[in-house]
Chains A and B, each alone.
Chain A
């Protein structure tokens, strides 16, 4: 599909009216791209069956710019929700997909986003089974917002809960942090800097499921540190379980270019957003095996052990610095602000 076949260069208010223009947009682009037995019913909702417990997660995506190095808002909307479902120890199967489009969005951009969603969904093994499209007046949105809700079957071997975490458990990360946030930052108005940093947006469900199949209930928790970064997730965990967390600055996987960009902009990579990173907290007895297992997978090849759960400083995350000092890692408050000099 291209703009010539569609007949409009950009999305009009009428495309959200519910009338024939809406139908045209859906038939020619949305239904055509995502066609599957559920969606082809063209009903208001979808009816699905599950055999086991199900995990549900929803997320709204408002990223700006909508196209960035390494991805766009469409694949982000799939990966984000797929990963949230996977973090529950579930195998994601279905997604709902809702667009809020600002009048005037170029149809080429919309098609490109829809195609990215299709590819990301196929790669993640999920189907789009229901959705919605609304159009708002120019100035009332920011090009396009997307909401997705994911449904997945919980792996019977999984027992994922913060309650299972105990002193001595080890904390592992699957790869380099801060890639997504810095890729977005490098394209924001007024902050542009030249770099080849790409967003790490990707689906993590297969590796997560493989880990559950292999190690079962010795895996205590999965979390993906998206907004707020690794620091905020660790702070939350530490407060929730009332135990301390110790991490080691030297062990945090950080790519050189990203580290340099963070230095230049005065940002702490521990607070920068990720979209293809997950943290797994595992029983002490298996952490080396898990690390080896992760490192053999493409999405875990830079996996690293970064710290552990401790009986000391309950409710707080303490980082041991490269030079042997200690500091508290507090949760992010508001947005991370670039500093003056």
Chain B
């Protein structure tokens, strides 16, 4: 349990909390980008241990939450057409416009929960008379494995495998948040796992243009408080740099092999973000060479479009404008067993984090 027990150490964590307390003189708003960080903060009770002047704003980095509603409807349509749909676990309970993947499964759809898209290729190999689609959602973190599955399928000559792509990228989302007229964020905790793949060179121009500190941060309690301390220190010192708290995992240049796999299969294109709308150059699409693996084209489902639930303020939550408990439906009309929007479902969603771990202690 190296890297776990040490990073959950009470004394070390306390010493950084003390440092934050001593350093902070003005109120600051720090956004943690990644939903994993949000859960780390709430699950470990860190939000209550921070000085009042440091306010954490929860960012958009929950892959399930930003996947547009129509993609879920598209996956359900595939299930109902008899396709074997493979998905990461926390996607399956997210409500589509009429139902979730889980409900579609209970109606007879062949839905498989997987940890790795490579398993989906195996399922395609073992079911040559069936079509198999992997629901390829996520940020840069899941892109290499999803891309690799396509390369494997191509190498094996599998004609019955394709992916339903909804890949989004972190830097364009940060830029969209900073350009928002309601934005009041002073610093970012960069998403550690995303940067493990991509490195952090692409954050230099952002820090410079918006004069905002960006600290690449991990997920354990000690990582989080150290990252917050580094961000607060920069703010108090009046500087705005890219720093790397998560150096035991993240290298400046990222994981070169993983990036190369991504670049073989995907190119950058416009993507729709749930609750935010379309952002140009904000995600991955399959390159021309791999279009035959695009489930949307293969099954003619690109035209499925559906409106969001008007009662759900997921967009404002994801942009950090509102906190989950500022939503009128929070814990009332919207609960994890009956969610209006994705942030209440995913284990990384801000609403679910608030509901499970911190409601009315």
Tell me, yes or no, whether B193 is within 8 Å of chain A by CB: yes
The contact string, 1 if C-beta is below 8 Å from chain A, for chain B 66-96, is: 0000000000000000000010111111000
Please tell me which stretch of A83-91, A123-131, A256-264 contacts chain B, meaning at least 4 of its Cβ atoms lie within 8 angstroms of it. A256-264
A321-B43, A323-B44 given as contacts; is B93 within 8 A of A334 (CB)?
A: yes
A259-B1, A316-B361, A337-B113 given as contacts; is B42 within 8 A of A327 (CB)?
A: yes
Tell me, yes or no, whether B138 is within 8 Å of chain A by CB: yes
Do A339 and B193 touch (CB < 8 A)?
Answer: no
Could you say which of A316, A318, A338 has the most chain B C-beta atoms within 10 Å of its C-beta? Answer: A338
Tell me, yes or no, whether B176 is within 8 Å of chain A by CB: no
The contact string, 1 if C-beta is below 8 Å from chain B, for chain A 131-161, is: 0000000000000000000000000000000
Do B361 and A330 touch (CB < 8 A)?
Answer: no
Set of chain B residues within 8 Å of A322, measured between Cβ atoms: 8-10, 44, 221
With an 8 Å Cβ cutoff, the count of chain A residues facing the other chain is 29
Set of chain B residues within 8 Å of A326, measured between Cβ atoms: 45, 48, 361
Set of chain A residues within 8 Å of B162, measured between Cβ atoms: none
Complexed CA–CA distance, A124 and B137 (Å): 49
Task: For B337, give its contact among A191, A313, A334 (CB under 8 Å).
Answer: A334
Task: For A323, give its contact among B10, B47, B93, B361 (CB under 8 Å).
Answer: B10
Could you say which of A313, A330, A339 has the most chain B C-beta atoms within 10 Å of its C-beta? Answer: A339
Do A333 and B337 touch (CB < 8 A)?
Answer: yes
Complexed CA–CA distance, A333 and B43 (Å): 17
Complexed CA–CA distance, A316 and B361 (Å): 8
Complex: chain B residue closest to A341, CB-CB: B141
Complexed CA–CA distance, A267 and B112 (Å): 18
Do A340 and B138 touch (CB < 8 A)?
Answer: yes
Do B4 and A263 touch (CB < 8 A)?
Answer: yes
**A254-303 interface with B by 8 A CB criterion:** 256, 259-260, 263, 265-266
Tell me, yes or no, whether A328 is within 8 Å of chain B by CB: yes
Tell me, yes or no, whether B355 is within 8 Å of chain A by CB: yes
Complexed CA–CA distance, A327 and B45 (Å): 6
Complexed CA–CA distance, A330 and B360 (Å): 12
Do B93 and A337 touch (CB < 8 A)?
Answer: yes
Set of chain A residues within 8 Å of B113, measured between Cβ atoms: 190, 337-338
Give the shortest distance, in Å, between A65 (CB) and chain B (any CB): 16
Do B361 and A328 touch (CB < 8 A)?
Answer: yes
Complex: chain B residue closest to A188, CB-CB: B113
Complex: chain A residue closest to B47, CB-CB: A325
Tell me, yes or no, whether B336 is within 8 Å of chain A by CB: yes
Tell me, yes or no, whether A19 is within 8 Å of chain B by CB: no
**A80-129 interface with B by 8 A CB criterion:** none
Set of chain B residues within 8 Å of A7, measured between Cβ atoms: none
Tell me, yes or no, whether B346 is within 8 Å of chain A by CB: yes
Tell me, yes or no, whether A324 is within 8 Å of chain B by CB: yes
A323-B221, A325-B44 given as contacts; is B115 within 8 A of A338 (CB)?
A: yes
A260-B1, A323-B13, A328-B359 given as contacts; is B45 within 8 A of A339 (CB)?
A: no
A324-B10, A325-B44, A327-B44 given as contacts; is B92 within 8 A of A337 (CB)?
A: yes
Tell me, yes or no, whether B14 is within 8 Å of chain A by CB: yes
Complexed CA–CA distance, A266 and B348 (Å): 10
Do A323 and B348 touch (CB < 8 A)?
Answer: no
Complex: chain A residue closest to B114, CB-CB: A190
Complexed CA–CA distance, A328 and B337 (Å): 17
Do A341 and B92 touch (CB < 8 A)?
Answer: no
Give the shortest distance, in Å, between B21 (CB) and chain A (any CB): 14
Do B44 and A321 touch (CB < 8 A)?
Answer: yes
Across chains A and B, the number of contacting residue pairs, with CB separation under 8 Å, is: 116
Do B8 and A323 touch (CB < 8 A)?
Answer: yes
Do B221 and A340 touch (CB < 8 A)?
Answer: no
Tell me, yes or no, whether B142 is within 8 Å of chain A by CB: yes
Could you say which of A320, A326, A333 has the most chain B C-beta atoms within 10 Å of its C-beta? Answer: A333
Tell me, yes or no, whether B302 is within 8 Å of chain A by CB: no
Complex: chain A residue closest to B335, CB-CB: A333
Set of chain B residues within 8 Å of A341, measured between Cβ atoms: 36, 63, 138-139, 141-142, 193
Do A327 and B90 touch (CB < 8 A)?
Answer: no
Set of chain B residues within 8 Å of A260, measured between Cβ atoms: 1, 4
Give the shortest distance, in Å, between B91 (CB) and chain A (any CB): 7
Tell me, yes or no, whether B327 is within 8 Å of chain A by CB: no
Tell me, yes or no, whether B358 is within 8 Å of chain A by CB: yes
Tell me, yes or no, whether B234 is within 8 Å of chain A by CB: no
Tell me, yes or no, whether B46 is within 8 Å of chain A by CB: yes
Complexed CA–CA distance, A126 and B137 (Å): 51
Set of chain A residues within 8 Å of B159, measured between Cβ atoms: none
Complexed CA–CA distance, A133 and B356 (Å): 43
Task: For B63, give its contact among A323, A338, A340 (CB under 8 Å).
Answer: A340
Complexed CA–CA distance, A33 and B347 (Å): 47
**B117-132 interface with A by 8 A CB criterion:** 119, 123
Set of chain A residues within 8 Å of B4, measured between Cβ atoms: 259-260, 263
Do A340 and B49 touch (CB < 8 A)?
Answer: no
Tell me, yes or no, whether B195 is within 8 Å of chain A by CB: no
**B7-53 interface with A by 8 A CB criterion:** 8-10, 13-14, 36, 42-49
Complexed CA–CA distance, A35 and B44 (Å): 55
Set of chain B residues within 8 Å of A263, measured between Cβ atoms: 4
Complexed CA–CA distance, A92 and B355 (Å): 40
Complexed CA–CA distance, A191 and B88 (Å): 11
The contact string, 1 if C-beta is below 8 Å from chain A, for chain B 319-354, is: 000000000000000001100000000111000000
The contact string, 1 if C-beta is below 8 Å from chain A, for chain B 133-162, is: 000011101100000000000000000000
Complexed CA–CA distance, A191 and B115 (Å): 6
Do B357 and A327 touch (CB < 8 A)?
Answer: yes
A-B contact pairs, 18 of them (CB 8 A): A190-B123, A321-B45, A322-B10, A323-B13, A323-B46, A324-B13, A325-B45, A325-B46, A325-B47, A330-B357, A334-B93, A334-B102, A334-B337, A339-B89, A340-B63, A340-B142, A340-B348, A341-B141
Q: Please name 18 further chain A to chain B contacts, defined as beta carbons within 8 Å, in addition to the given A323-B9, A323-B14, A339-B89, sorted by A numbering.
A: A190-B113, A191-B114, A260-B4, A318-B361, A324-B14, A326-B48, A327-B44, A327-B357, A328-B361, A334-B93, A337-B93, A337-B113, A338-B90, A338-B115, A340-B64, A340-B91, A340-B348, A341-B138
6 interchain residue pairs of minimum CB distance: A325-B45, A338-B89, A337-B89, A327-B357, A323-B13, A339-B347
